[in-house]
Amino acid sequence: MAKRTRHASEKTHRYIAGLAKSLRAYTMEKPPSISEMNDVALAMQLLGIEQIKSEHKDIMLPLIAKTEGDRKRLLMKQAFESIVRIAGRYALEMSPHDEADLILAEKAEA
């Protein structure tokens, strides 16, 4: 991911890794792929943000949720807000070493 989003900060890369971890913990029909997480990172870069917030839901939800069922689930009971909040916590807890391990694990799954 860092190669496709060279201008994104380390904080943004950590947040994206935290978001990927948060989404994996949430039951989805089709979890976002590495390519889709790259798209999220690029969208964040274009928006000039380092963390997704609830007001970014309309922009980010189509990038994160591939199926109509996943979109509906993420809109119910503030699931989207919960996922991005947990992603922020994961990002804060993550060291650069953890981020590299997560990226390698994503590549192995692909």
pTM confidence score: 0.76
Q: Does residue 4 lie within any of the structural domains?
A: no
- Kindly report the three-state secondary structure assignment for every residue of 10-28: HHHHHHHHHHHHHHHHCCC
Q: Does residue 94 lie within any of the structural domains?
A: yes
Domain containing 18 equals: 10-109
Number of domains forming the structure of the chain: 1
Q: What pLDDT score does 60 carry?
A: 93
Please tell me the distance from the alpha carbon of residue 2 to that of residue 11, in angstroms, as a whole number.
11
Task: Characterise 77 by phi-psi region: left (phi > 0), alpha (psi -120 to 50), beta (else).
Answer: left
Q: Does residue 49 lie within any of the structural domains?
A: yes
| Model pLDDT for residues 43-72, shown as the tens digit of each residue | 998 899 989 998 999 999 999 999 999 999
